C-alpha cells in the first residue's frame, strides 16, 4: 500500500514491527528485505509520490522545485558555499541521481575494517549483496551509442592523451538518451528504487506513506517508543493530519544530512560523533566550446569516466544539464553574455570529483526550519581538485575545443592548453572555485569503536536497543565514487542482520 496526502482524511496511527524514515536507496531496500521475511513495515517519506506520467512532463526547473529539497539548492556553508542537491520523493535521491553505479572500492572496505573496526564487511562478505542489488536494479554499462556527443568528444580527447577511460555502469533498461536523469527519467529507463524495491516491498505488505514528515522521535531509556509527524499537503506545504507510529524498531534512512538532523532536533545525541565527519565528494565542472555541434543534452549525461588519476582520489565523470541550469551559471551579464548563450549547442562539459579524505564538515540544527551544514575543504583536497580541472582542460583541448572555462574566479577561459599552467602558477583560494557536491556521507559512522562511531557494524545505534541507521550517514569515509550501490548493499545486509536477530529486536 502506498498512500499520499490525497488518500488520507484523518490522523494516522500505526503499530508496525518496523518503522523506516526515508524511502531512498537505504530505506527502500530495508523495507523490501524486511517485509520479505514477514515483518510488518511502515515507511514514512516526507516527499511526494511521483511517476513518469508526472515528472516526465516537468521542465527541469519544475523538477528542481518538486523532486528536490530546497529547489535543489541545499547550501553547504564554509569558506565557499557549495550546492548540495538532495532528492525528496518516494524513492529519494535515486529518482533524481545520475544513475551511476559503482561497487564500494575494496580499499575503502579494508580501511573501514582496519580503522573503525567494521566487521563482516570485507569485499568477499559484500559480494553477494552487490550482486543482488545490481540484478534488482539492472546495472549495465552505458553503450557508446547511448553516450551522446558530449561523452564522445571527451573520450576522443582522453584517448588522444592515452588516459584510461571507459563507460560507466548505470541502473537502466532501454535508455533513450534524453539527458534528463537528474530531473526524473521520462521513460523510467533509470531503475530508481520506486520502480523495483518499493513495489516489491508493497507486494509483500509494506505500507508507504508519502508526504509524511517525521518530526518527533520519543526515546526513553534507550528505546524508541514512537514517532510523531505530519501529513503534509504537497501543494501548499500545510499540515493536514497527524501521524503517530509506535514500532518495535526504528530504522532511520533519511540520508547523511537529515538523519543526524532529526536526531539532534529531538535531543538524541547517541555519540559525540553524530553530525560530524561529513564528507560530500566535492565536484567542479569544466566547460568548453567546440566548432562542431555537440547537443550535449542528448545522451546519458554521466555516461563515461576517466579514471587515470583515481588512485589519487580524482575521478572525472560526465555531466551535462539543460540550458536553464547551465546558462545562468556560464553566461556573463549583458549583451556580450548572450553570445555565449547562443553557442549552447556547441557546449561540452565534464565534471571532476575528488575523494575528500582530508576535508570534513558537520550537520547541526539551524536557525530556520532545517539543518545548518558546514564544510571545510582541506588544501590537499583542493590541490586534487585543481589537478582534476587541469586534466579535464587538457582533454578538452586534445579533443579539439576552441576554448575551455575552468570555472575558477579570476581566471579567464583558456584559449589553448598553454593557459592551463595558470592553475598552478597563480595563488588560488578555495573561494575562487565554483563547487557542487552530490554524495553526503559519514555523519553517523559505523564501527565497533564506541567512542569514535555512532552505530555498530550493522547500523544499530550505540546505547540504544531498537534504533538502527541505514543510509549514507554510516559510511566512515568518503567512497570516492557514487554511493547508491554501497548504500543499497549495506542496507540489504543490515536488514538481514535484523531478520537474523528478530527475537532480540522484534519481540
- Report the interface residues with other proteins, using CB under 8 A: 59-61, 65, 70-71, 73, 79-81, 145-146, 148, 176-179, 237, 297-299, 322-325, 327-329, 331-339, 341-342, 344-345, 367-370, 409-410, 431-432
Provide the minimum distance between the beta carbon of 145 and other proteins in the complex, in angstroms, as a whole number.
7
Give, rounded to a whole angstrom, the gap between the first and last alpha carbons of the chain: 24
Provide the minimum distance between the beta carbon of 276 and other proteins in the complex, in angstroms, as a whole number.
23
Provide the minimum distance between the beta carbon of 421 and other proteins in the complex, in angstroms, as a whole number.
22
Instruction: Name which of 81 and 246 has its Cβ closer to other proteins.
Output: 81
Instruction: Name which of 156 and 298 has its Cβ closer to other proteins.
Output: 298
* CA–CA distance, 29 with 211 (Å, rounded to integer): 19
Provide the minimum distance between the beta carbon of 341 and other proteins in the complex, in angstroms, as a whole number.
6
The grid coordinates listed for 438 are: 552530490
| Residue 349 and residue 319 in contact, taking contact as beta carbons nearer than 8 Å | yes
Instruction: Name which of 119 and 140 has its Cβ closer to other proteins.
Output: 140
Residues 6+ apart with CB under 8 A from 335: none
Q: Which residues pair with 375 in a beta bridge?
A: 361
Residue 421: half-sphere exposure toward Cβ, Cα within 13 Å = 4
Report the candidate in 471, 468, 463 with the shortest Cα–Cα distance to residue 489: 471
* CA–CA distance, 377 with 379 (Å, rounded to integer): 6
* CA–CA distance, 443 with 465 (Å, rounded to integer): 20
Provide the minimum distance between the beta carbon of 338 and other proteins in the complex, in angstroms, as a whole number.
4
Three-class SS of residue 263?
helix
Instruction: Name which of 221 and 235 has its Cβ closer to other proteins.
Output: 235
Instruction: Name which of 310 and 346 has its Cβ closer to other proteins.
Output: 346
* CA–CA distance, 151 with 317 (Å, rounded to integer): 9
Provide the minimum distance between the beta carbon of 298 and other proteins in the complex, in angstroms, as a whole number.
5
Backbone angles phi, psi at 267, to 5 degrees: 70, 20
Residues 6+ apart with CB under 8 A from 114: none
Instruction: Name which of 355 and 430 has its Cβ closer to other proteins.
Output: 430
The grid coordinates listed for 286 are: 569544466
Provide the minimum distance between the beta carbon of 80 and other proteins in the complex, in angstroms, as a whole number.
6
Residues 6+ apart with CB under 8 A from 107: none
3-state SS of the chain: helix, strand, coil percent to 5? 35, 25, 40
The grid coordinates listed for 307 are: 579514471
Instruction: Name which of 54 and 176 has its Cβ closer to other proteins.
Output: 176
Report the candidate in 352, 326, 350 with the shortest Cα–Cα distance to residue 340: 326
Instruction: Name which of 345 and 416 has its Cβ closer to other proteins.
Output: 345
Provide the minimum distance between the beta carbon of 385 and other proteins in the complex, in angstroms, as a whole number.
16
The grid coordinates listed for 176 are: 533513450
Instruction: Name which of 403 and 417 has its Cβ closer to other proteins.
Output: 403
Provide the minimum distance between the beta carbon of 419 and other proteins in the complex, in angstroms, as a whole number.
19
Question: Number of helices and strands (H, E) in the chain?
Answer: 14, 24
Amino acid at each position: 500500500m502506498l498512500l499520499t496526502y490525497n488518500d488520507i482524511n484523518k490522523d494516522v496511527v500505526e503499530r508496525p514491527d518496523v518503522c523506516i524514515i526515508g524511502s531512498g536507496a537505504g530505506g527502500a531496500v530495508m523495507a523490501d528485505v524486511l517485509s520479505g521475511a514477514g515483518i510488518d513495515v511502515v515507511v514514512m517519506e516526507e516527499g511526494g509520490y511521483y511517476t513518469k506520467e508526472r515528472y516526465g512532463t516537468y521542465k527541469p526547473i519544475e523538477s528542481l522545485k518538486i523532486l528536490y529539497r530546497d529547489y535543489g539548492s541545499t547550501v553547504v556553508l564554509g569558506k565557499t558555499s557549495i550546492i548540495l542537491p538532495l532528492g525528496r520523493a518516494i524513492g529519494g535521491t535515486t529518482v533524481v541521481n545520475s544513475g551511476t553505479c559503482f561497487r564500494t572500492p575494496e580499499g575503502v572496505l579494508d580501511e573501514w575494517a582496519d580503522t573503525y573496526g567494521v566487521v563482516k564487511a570485507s569485499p568477499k562478505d559484500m559480494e553477494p549483496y552487490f550482486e543482488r542489488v545490481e540484478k534488482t536494479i539492472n546495472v549495465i554499462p552505458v553503450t557508446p551509442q547511448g553516450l551522446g556527443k558530449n561523452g564522445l568528444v571527451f573520450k576522443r580527447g582522453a584517448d588522444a592523451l592515452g588516459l584510461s577511460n571507459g563507460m560507466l555502469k548505470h541502473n537502466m533498461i532501454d535508455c533513450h538518451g534524453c539527458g534528463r536523469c537528474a530531473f526524473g527519467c521520462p521513460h523510467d529507463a533509470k531503475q530508481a528504487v520506486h520502480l523495483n524495491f518499493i513495489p516489491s516491498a508493497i507486494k509483500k505488505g509494506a505500507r508507504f506513506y508519502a508526504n509524511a514528515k517525521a518530526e518527533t522521535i520519543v526515546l526513553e531509556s534507550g528505546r524508541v517508543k514512537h514517532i510523531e509527524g505530519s501529513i503534509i499537503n504537497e501543494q501548499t506545504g500545510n499540515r493536514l493530519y497527524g501521524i503517530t507510529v509506535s514500532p518495535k524498531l526504528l530504522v532511520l534512512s533519511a540520508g547523511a544530512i537529515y538523519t543526524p538532523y532529526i536526531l539532534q532536533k529531538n535531543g538524541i545525541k547517541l555519540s559525540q560523533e553524530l553530525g560530524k565527519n561529513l564528507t560530500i565528494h566535492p565536484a567542479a565542472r569544466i566547460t568548453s566550446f567546440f566548432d562542431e555541434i555537440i547537443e550535449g543534452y542528448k545522451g546519458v549525461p554521466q555516461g563515461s569516466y576517466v579514471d587515470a588519476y583515481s588512485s589519487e582520489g580524482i575521478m572525472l565523470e560526465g555531466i551535462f544539464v539543460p540550458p536553464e541550469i547551465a546558462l545562468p551559471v556560464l553566461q556573463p551579464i549583458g549583451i556580450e553574455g548572450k553570445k555565449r548563450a547562443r553557442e549552447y549547442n556547441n557546449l561540452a562539459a565534464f565534471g571532476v570529483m575528488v575523494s575528500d579524505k582530508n576535508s570534513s564538515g558537520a550537520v547541526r540544527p539551524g536557525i530556520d526550519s532545517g539543518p545548518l551544514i558546514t564544510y571545510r575543504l582541506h588544501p590537499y583536497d583542493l590541490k586534487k581538485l585543481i589537478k582534476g580541472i587541469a586534466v579535464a582542460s587538457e582533454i578538452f583541448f586534445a579533443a579539439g575545443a576552441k576554448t575551455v572555462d575552468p570555472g575558477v574566479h579570476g581566471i579567464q577561459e583558456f584559449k589553448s592548453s598553454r593557459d592551463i599552467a595558470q592553475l598552478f602558477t597563480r595563488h588560488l583560494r578555495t573561494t575562487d572555485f565554483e563547487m557542487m557536491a552530490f554524495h553526503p556521507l559519514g555523519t553517523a559512522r559505523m564501527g565497533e569503536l564506541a567512542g569514535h562511531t555512532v552505530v555498530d557494524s550493522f547500523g544499530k545505534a550505540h546505547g540504544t536497543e531498537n534504533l538502527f541507521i541505514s543510509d549514507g550517514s554510516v559510511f566512515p569515509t568518503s567512497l570516492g565514487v557514487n554511493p547508491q550501490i554501497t548504500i543499497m548493499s549495506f542496507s540489504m545486509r543490515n536488514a538481514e542482520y535484523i531478520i537474523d536477530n528478530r527475537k532480540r529486536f522484534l519481540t
